[in-house]
Amino acid sequence: MSSTVISRAPAEHIRNQAPTELPPHAGKAAAGIFVVLLAQLMLVLDATVVNVALPHIATGLGFGPAGLSWVLNGYTLAFGGLLLLGGRLGDVFGRLRLFQIGLAVFIAFSLIGGLSTSPGMLVTARAFQGVGAALAAPSVLALLTTSAPDDAARNRALALFSAVSSGGGALGLILGGVLTDLISWRWTLFINVPIGLAILAVVGRLVAETPRRPGRFDVIGAIAATGSAVSIVWALIGAPDHGWGSVRTIGGLAVGLLLVAVLAITETRVAHPLLRPALLRSHSRLSALASMSAMFGGMMAMFFLMVQFLEDQLGFGPLTTGLAFLPMPLGVFTMSRFSPRLVGRFGPLPLVIVGTSAMTLAFLRLSQLDAGSGYWTGAFPSLLVAGLAGGLSFMPITALALRDVEPEHAGAASGLLQTMQQLGGSVGLAVVASVFAANAVDADFLSGARAGFITAATLTAIALASALTVAVRRPRVVPVTQLD
């Protein structure tokens, strides 16, 4: 066994963004990156694409109010709970192979979900969609970072990945509204089939398989990691309905934390751990993971409140509600064009600080909505600023989380990053939904919404505080990994 000590990358290396000539096979690499990013967009869209279609789904299949939430939660629970396992499986068996398997599962159950004739059939299909997404998603980021021909291309790929991941939720609301209004809610699921099949047809020719990392599979770690994530997500998504002090919520969180402890002990004792403890020894990586979790939680909470504001307060239909979110993905994708260059000039940390600050201010402004607020004066400015802030900060956060990670461990690191995203979304949604319900007065939406938006702003402020802890900490050499 040999060890490698990797220090914080020097500024000159981070800022090397302009190669003098095009690397070999750059065109094929770019096409492969595009195809893999398209798959990531599809996986992210499905977390929100059915949101605005929920009333139509309830009518069409006869859902009750309690059961309807599982159309969203079934996907979230499986996706968030299995991401760490998906990342490790990709490292062991090959990321391209696992990406293809996960995408095939996702496509098959998208078709089954669209054909559903009962609530149980749809919820089951959504859960298996989440399984497929959890297998494919960690390989997306790992394939991007290992396929890019140089540092500049890697940073551009990370910027696009971050834009897709942060803007995809809002795009899902837009696409869901368009498909539901113009065709049918079933097409929010059917749309994945032709796109997914096209990706499967070409990805093997454009993206090279990654080397496998041999070794015994960490069965106990896999069970503990999956069980802890599923238990925590399950407890959090039910907290608004059952209460934070309920046996269900406290029991689920307790089981989850117990399994986290089992995972921590196991990973220090096995030769080939599912989650390498060395990945958590970097302060900047821990900060990036916390910032990603808190920002994603704030965004998902904002979506929850804003959909209700647009539909209940302003009377928008599904199509208009979806289109009303357009400023956010436009802001994300516009800023993502500049973020690699800005990272090269200023480094990642200042961008994270500016982005989290701007998003916090945008959510605080939403807390000032009142009965006289319209779309253009009330919602539009904050949605645009939040989109620009997300486009500015998500790429640097991702870069910080993956910096100095050995290529053979990129799948595990990617799974960890996206697990924190999903857990953050579940925490944010659960907390804000509870705050919203506790502060609602006589079915007055705005009473609860104001408190909810303040809570969302608090989450993004936590992301800001986490980034500031890196700014005030002196750089030091960090042992990142040991090669087996």
Query: What pLDDT sits at residue 13?
Result: 44
Residue located via tokens 């993004």: 460
For the question of whether the overall pTM of this predicted structure is more than 0.95, the answer is no
Shortest CA distance to 459 belongs to which of 435, 481, 428, 437?
Answer: 428
DSSP structure string for 37-75 = HHHHHHHHHTTTTTGGGHHHHHHHHT--HHHHTHHHHHH
Shortest CA distance to 395 belongs to which of 340, 324, 465?
Answer: 340
pLDDT along the chain (484 residues), means of 10: 36 41 54 83 84 82 74 82 81 85 95 92 92 87 70 75 78 85 89 92 80 70 82 81 87 92 84 75 85 89 86 84 87 84 85 93 93 89 92 86 73 77 81 82 79 93 90 52 42
Shortest CA distance to 185 belongs to which of 98, 274, 122?
Answer: 122
Q: Is 375 a domain residue?
A: yes
Structure tokens, 61: 């299949």
Find the domain containing 179 and state its range: 27-475
- In CATH, what number is assigned to the domain containing residue 332? 1.20.1250.20
Degrees (nearest 5) of the Cα angle 242, 244, 245?
95
Q: Is 221 a domain residue?
A: yes
Contact 129, 46 (CB under 8 A): yes
Q: Is 338 a domain residue?
A: yes
Shortest CA distance to 210 belongs to which of 109, 370, 100?
Answer: 100
Query: What pLDDT sits at residue 365?
Result: 95
Contact 281, 478 (CB under 8 A): yes
Number of independent structural domains in the chain: 1
d(CA 480, CA 274): 16
d(CA 240, CA 72): 14
d(CA 408, CA 280): 16
d(CA 303, CA 427): 14
Contact 33, 160 (CB under 8 A): yes
Q: Is 432 a domain residue?
A: yes
Phi, psi of 444 (to 5 degrees): -85, 110
Q: Is 122 a domain residue?
A: yes
d(CA 313, CA 1): 63
d(CA 141, CA 40): 9
Q: Is 21 a domain residue?
A: no
Shortest CA distance to 428 belongs to which of 290, 289, 320, 300?
Answer: 300
Q: Is 9 a domain residue?
A: no
Contact 155, 399 (CB under 8 A): yes
Give whole-number Cα distances, 458 to 4, 106, 298, 432, 452, in Å. 39, 34, 8, 10, 10
Q: Is 36 a domain residue?
A: yes
